[in-house]
């Protein structure tokens, strides 16, 4: 069931809300940035994500083709979300599940996880090994 979650960075400078249905799935990727940040995400469409506070505190990082813009708090360093746009998905936000302030442990443990092989540019495939993700 879709519900509105509130989220924030560690220091609270960045706050957002988003509408997600965690039961529809989450993902973990083995690309260099997701792996190094241990990023576990759920996708919110553009209209289902709202930055409530902290635009001035956000820093942005993009690499490669620049399709995804990674946003993190310039004060505490926590990556709260990423924003992207592809022909297949349109504009979307990859929300860091660790930043959801009101997601219950039960919701998180029951959320299905899809593993993506971003390391080899095959996000549609599951990597050979996923236990470390």
Per-residue pLDDT of the chain in tens (133 residues, 90 and over written 9): 999 999 999 999 999 999 999 999 999 999 999 999 999 999 999 999 999 999 999 999 998 788 899 999 999 999 999 999 989 889 999 999 999 999 999 999 999 999 999 999 898 899 999 999 8
pTM above 0.85, yes or no: yes
Give the C-alpha separation, 117 to 115, whole Å. 7
Q: Which residues contact 79 (CB under 8 A, 6 or more apart)?
A: 37, 39, 70, 71, 72, 96
The fold for domain 3-120 equals 2.170.150
- Burial class (CB within 10 angstroms; exposed 0-12, middle 13-18, buried 19+) of 33: middle
């Amino acid at each position: 069931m879709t519900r509105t979650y509130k989220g924030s960075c560690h220091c609270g400078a960045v706050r957002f809300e988003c509408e997600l249905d965690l039961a529809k799935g989450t993902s973990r990727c083995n690309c260099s940035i997701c792996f190094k940040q241990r990023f576990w995400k759920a996708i919110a469409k553009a209209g289902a994500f709202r930055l409530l506070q902290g635009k001035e505190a956000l820093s942005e990082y993009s690499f490669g083709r620049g399709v995804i813009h990674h946003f993190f708090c310039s004060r505490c360093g926590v990556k709260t979300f990423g924003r992207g746009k592809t022909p297949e998905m349109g504009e979307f936000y990859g929300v860091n599940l660790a930043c959801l302030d009101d997601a219950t442990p039960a919701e998180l443990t029951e959320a299905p996880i899809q593993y993506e092989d971003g390391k080899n540019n095959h996000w549609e495939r599951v990597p050979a090994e996923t236990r470390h993700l």
